[in-house]
Protein backbone atom coordinates (compact mmCIF):
# COMPACT_ATOMS: atom_id res chain seq x y z
CA UNK A 1 0.00 0.00 0.00
CA UNK A 2 1.49 3.32 -1.01
CA UNK A 3 1.33 6.35 1.25
CA UNK A 4 -1.30 8.20 -0.73
CA UNK A 5 -3.76 5.32 -0.40
CA UNK A 6 -3.89 5.38 3.37
CA UNK A 7 -6.80 7.74 3.69
CA UNK A 8 -9.08 6.03 1.16
CA UNK A 9 -12.48 5.39 2.66
CA UNK A 10 -14.47 2.26 1.88
CA UNK A 11 -17.11 4.45 0.23
CA UNK A 12 -14.54 5.47 -2.36
CA UNK A 13 -13.23 1.93 -2.75
CA UNK A 14 -16.75 0.72 -3.45
CA UNK A 15 -17.06 3.25 -6.25
CA UNK A 16 -13.77 2.29 -7.90
CA UNK A 17 -15.11 -0.81 -9.70
CA UNK A 18 -17.70 1.46 -11.34
CA UNK A 19 -14.95 3.83 -12.53
CA UNK A 20 -13.11 0.75 -13.74
CA UNK A 21 -16.12 -0.33 -15.82
CA UNK A 22 -16.74 3.05 -17.39
CA UNK A 23 -13.05 3.64 -18.12
CA UNK A 24 -12.71 0.16 -19.69
CA UNK A 25 -15.60 1.06 -21.94
CA UNK A 26 -14.03 4.40 -22.90
CA UNK A 27 -10.76 2.66 -23.68
CA UNK A 28 -12.55 0.14 -25.92
CA UNK A 29 -14.09 3.12 -27.74
CA UNK A 30 -10.56 4.48 -28.24
CA UNK A 31 -11.20 7.56 -26.10
CA UNK A 32 -7.78 8.90 -25.05
CA UNK A 33 -8.69 11.73 -22.68
CA UNK A 34 -11.86 12.67 -20.81
CA UNK A 35 -12.71 15.63 -18.60
CA UNK A 36 -14.21 15.08 -15.17
CA UNK A 37 -17.31 16.84 -16.50
CA UNK A 38 -17.77 14.41 -19.41
CA UNK A 39 -16.99 11.38 -17.26
CA UNK A 40 -19.47 12.63 -14.66
CA UNK A 41 -22.20 13.00 -17.28
CA UNK A 42 -21.55 9.52 -18.57
CA UNK A 43 -21.60 8.01 -15.08
CA UNK A 44 -24.55 10.02 -13.76
CA UNK A 45 -22.59 11.57 -10.89
CA UNK A 46 -21.22 15.05 -10.29
CA UNK A 47 -17.87 16.20 -11.62
CA UNK A 48 -16.86 17.30 -8.14
CA UNK A 49 -17.56 13.80 -6.79
CA UNK A 50 -15.24 12.37 -9.44
CA UNK A 51 -12.48 14.87 -8.72
CA UNK A 52 -12.84 14.22 -5.01
CA UNK A 53 -12.77 10.43 -5.39
CA UNK A 54 -9.75 10.38 -7.66
CA UNK A 55 -7.91 12.91 -5.55
CA UNK A 56 -7.77 10.28 -2.80
CA UNK A 57 -5.15 8.57 -4.91
CA UNK A 58 -3.23 11.72 -5.65
CA UNK A 59 -5.52 12.65 -8.55
CA UNK A 60 -4.53 11.81 -12.09
CA UNK A 61 -6.12 14.71 -13.88
CA UNK A 62 -4.38 17.78 -15.14
CA UNK A 63 -6.31 21.04 -14.82
CA UNK A 64 -7.88 21.80 -18.19
CA UNK A 65 -6.65 18.58 -19.83
CA UNK A 66 -8.84 16.00 -18.14
CA UNK A 67 -7.82 12.43 -17.42
CA UNK A 68 -5.78 10.13 -19.57
CA UNK A 69 -8.15 7.14 -19.81
CA UNK A 70 -5.48 4.42 -20.11
CA UNK A 71 -3.36 5.85 -17.30
CA UNK A 72 -6.31 6.24 -14.94
CA UNK A 73 -7.59 2.74 -15.73
CA UNK A 74 -4.14 1.33 -15.10
CA UNK A 75 -3.95 3.13 -11.77
CA UNK A 76 -7.37 1.86 -10.64
CA UNK A 77 -6.40 -1.66 -11.75
CA UNK A 78 -3.34 -1.36 -9.55
CA UNK A 79 -5.33 -0.13 -6.55
CA UNK A 80 -7.87 -2.96 -6.93
CA UNK A 81 -5.19 -5.58 -7.64
CA UNK A 82 -7.12 -6.83 -10.67
CA UNK A 83 -3.92 -8.23 -12.19
CA UNK A 84 -3.28 -10.39 -9.16
CA UNK A 85 -4.11 -14.12 -9.21
CA UNK A 86 -5.16 -14.89 -5.66
CA UNK A 87 -5.63 -18.69 -5.45
CA UNK A 88 -9.38 -19.18 -5.06
CA UNK A 89 -11.73 -22.11 -4.56
CA UNK A 90 -15.49 -22.29 -5.08
CA UNK A 91 -17.68 -24.44 -2.88
CA UNK A 92 -21.19 -25.43 -3.88
CA UNK A 93 -21.66 -26.03 -7.60
CA UNK A 94 -25.46 -25.85 -7.64
CA UNK A 95 -27.26 -23.39 -9.88
CA UNK A 96 -25.72 -20.33 -8.26
CA UNK A 97 -22.20 -21.75 -8.01
CA UNK A 98 -22.33 -22.85 -11.63
CA UNK A 99 -23.54 -19.41 -12.74
CA UNK A 100 -20.85 -17.61 -10.76
CA UNK A 101 -18.14 -19.95 -12.02
CA UNK A 102 -19.09 -19.58 -15.69
CA UNK A 103 -20.38 -16.01 -15.68
CA UNK A 104 -17.60 -14.07 -13.98
CA UNK A 105 -14.11 -13.40 -15.31
CA UNK A 106 -12.30 -14.12 -12.04
CA UNK A 107 -8.92 -13.97 -13.74
CA UNK A 108 -9.64 -10.38 -14.85
CA UNK A 109 -10.62 -9.36 -11.32
CA UNK A 110 -7.57 -10.49 -9.36
CA UNK A 111 -8.45 -14.12 -8.71
CA UNK A 112 -7.51 -17.51 -10.07
CA UNK A 113 -9.95 -20.38 -9.55
CA UNK A 114 -7.92 -23.44 -8.63
CA UNK A 115 -10.68 -25.78 -7.50
CA UNK A 116 -14.45 -26.35 -7.30
CA UNK A 117 -16.13 -28.55 -4.69
CA UNK A 118 -19.52 -30.01 -3.98
CA UNK A 119 -20.94 -32.78 -1.81
CA UNK A 120 -23.53 -34.11 -4.25
CA UNK A 121 -22.50 -37.31 -6.04
CA UNK A 122 -24.39 -36.18 -9.15
CA UNK A 123 -22.20 -33.06 -9.39
CA UNK A 124 -18.82 -34.37 -8.21
CA UNK A 125 -16.72 -35.41 -11.21
CA UNK A 126 -18.62 -33.21 -13.68
CA UNK A 127 -16.89 -30.44 -15.63
CA UNK A 128 -17.89 -26.80 -15.09
CA UNK A 129 -15.98 -24.46 -17.34
CA UNK A 130 -12.40 -25.70 -17.14
CA UNK A 131 -12.84 -27.30 -13.73
CA UNK A 132 -13.68 -30.82 -12.60
CA UNK A 133 -15.79 -30.67 -9.46
CA UNK A 134 -14.16 -32.49 -6.53
CA UNK A 135 -15.84 -33.90 -3.41
CA UNK A 136 -15.93 -31.53 -0.47
CA UNK A 137 -14.41 -34.32 1.68
CA UNK A 138 -11.15 -33.78 -0.21
CA UNK A 139 -11.12 -30.05 0.63
CA UNK A 140 -8.85 -30.23 3.66
CA UNK A 141 -6.13 -32.13 1.77
CA UNK A 142 -6.54 -29.79 -1.19
CA UNK A 143 -6.00 -26.77 1.05
CA UNK A 144 -2.86 -28.27 2.61
CA UNK A 145 -1.39 -28.91 -0.82
CA UNK A 146 -2.60 -25.83 -2.77
CA UNK A 147 -3.06 -23.17 -0.09
CA UNK A 148 -6.06 -21.25 -1.43
CA UNK A 149 -6.41 -17.76 0.06
CA UNK A 150 -9.97 -17.06 -1.07
CA UNK A 151 -13.17 -19.12 -1.00
CA UNK A 152 -16.42 -18.45 -2.86
CA UNK A 153 -19.27 -19.92 -0.82
CA UNK A 154 -22.41 -20.87 -2.78
CA UNK A 155 -23.80 -23.16 -0.10
CA UNK A 156 -26.65 -22.96 2.40
CA UNK A 157 -26.16 -21.22 5.70
CA UNK A 158 -25.83 -24.38 7.78
CA UNK A 159 -23.03 -25.77 5.61
CA UNK A 160 -21.31 -22.37 5.61
CA UNK A 161 -21.03 -22.36 9.41
CA UNK A 162 -18.82 -25.47 9.61
CA UNK A 163 -17.05 -25.07 6.28
CA UNK A 164 -15.94 -21.48 6.83
CA UNK A 165 -14.46 -22.40 10.22
CA UNK A 166 -12.58 -25.31 8.64
CA UNK A 167 -11.37 -23.18 5.72
CA UNK A 168 -10.08 -20.43 8.01
CA UNK A 169 -8.13 -23.06 9.94
CA UNK A 170 -6.75 -24.29 6.63
CA UNK A 171 -5.46 -20.83 5.70
CA UNK A 172 -8.30 -19.17 3.77
CA UNK A 173 -8.26 -15.43 4.49
CA UNK A 174 -11.10 -14.03 2.37
CA UNK A 175 -14.63 -15.10 1.47
CA UNK A 176 -16.98 -14.11 -1.31
CA UNK A 177 -20.08 -15.17 0.49
CA UNK A 178 -23.39 -15.98 -1.24
CA UNK A 179 -24.71 -17.82 1.81
CA UNK A 180 -26.74 -16.08 4.49
CA UNK A 181 -24.27 -16.94 7.22
CA UNK A 182 -22.57 -13.90 8.68
CA UNK A 183 -18.96 -15.12 8.59
CA UNK A 184 -17.41 -11.79 9.61
CA UNK A 185 -19.48 -11.62 12.76
CA UNK A 186 -18.06 -14.93 13.97
CA UNK A 187 -14.56 -14.62 12.53
CA UNK A 188 -13.60 -10.96 12.87
CA UNK A 189 -10.12 -11.53 11.45
CA UNK A 190 -11.13 -12.57 7.93
CA UNK A 191 -12.14 -10.52 4.92
CA UNK A 192 -15.71 -11.02 3.74
CA UNK A 193 -17.69 -9.58 0.89
CA UNK A 194 -21.32 -10.68 1.09
CA UNK A 195 -23.66 -11.02 -1.88
CA UNK A 196 -27.18 -10.94 -0.53
CA UNK A 197 -29.32 -11.17 -3.65
CA UNK A 198 -32.46 -11.45 -1.53
CA UNK A 199 -31.68 -8.09 0.12
CA UNK A 200 -31.29 -6.47 -3.28
CA UNK A 201 -34.62 -7.93 -4.36
CA UNK A 202 -36.34 -6.59 -1.25
CA UNK A 203 -34.87 -3.14 -1.84
CA UNK A 204 -36.32 -3.30 -5.36
CA UNK A 205 -39.70 -4.13 -3.86
CA UNK A 206 -39.51 -1.01 -1.70
CA UNK A 207 -38.47 1.16 -4.64
CA UNK A 208 -41.24 -0.20 -6.86
CA UNK A 209 -43.68 1.22 -4.33
CA UNK A 210 -41.66 4.40 -3.66
CA UNK A 211 -40.38 5.33 -7.13
CA UNK A 212 -39.60 8.86 -5.89
CA UNK A 213 -36.58 7.38 -4.02
CA UNK A 214 -35.25 5.56 -7.04
CA UNK A 215 -32.68 8.09 -8.25
CA UNK A 216 -30.84 8.29 -4.98
CA UNK A 217 -30.74 4.51 -4.70
CA UNK A 218 -29.17 4.02 -8.08
CA UNK A 219 -26.13 6.16 -7.49
CA UNK A 220 -24.91 4.64 -4.26
Distances (CA, A) of 61 to 7, 22, 57, 66, 102: 19, 16, 11, 5, 37
Does the protein bind a second copy through residue 159 (CB under 8 A)?
no
Out of 55, 102, 162, 166, point to the residue binding a second copy (CB under 8 A).
102
Does the protein bind a second copy through residue 143 (CB under 8 A)?
no
Out of 69, 100, 123, 155, point to the residue binding a second copy (CB under 8 A).
100
What's the min distance (Å) between Cβ of 62 and a second copy? Answer: 26
Q: What is the DSSP string of 109-137?
A: TTEEEEEEEES-TTTTT-EETTEEPEEGG
Out of 2, 95, 122, 130, point to the residue binding a second copy (CB under 8 A).
95
Out of 31, 47, 80, 168, point to the residue binding a second copy (CB under 8 A).
80
CA torsion sign, 66 to 51 to 216 to 29?
A: positive
Decide if 18 contacts 43 (C-beta within 8 A): yes
Does the protein bind a second copy through residue 52 (CB under 8 A)?
no
Does the protein bind a second copy through residue 110 (CB under 8 A)?
yes
Footprint of a second copy on 25-44 (CB under 8 A): 43-44
Amino acid sequence: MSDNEKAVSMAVVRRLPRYYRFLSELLSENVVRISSRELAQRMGVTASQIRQDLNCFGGFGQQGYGYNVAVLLEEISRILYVKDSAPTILIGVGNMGRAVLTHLPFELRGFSIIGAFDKSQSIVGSRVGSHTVAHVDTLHDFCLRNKPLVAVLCIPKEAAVTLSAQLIEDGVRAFWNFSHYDIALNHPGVVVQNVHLGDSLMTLSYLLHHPENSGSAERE
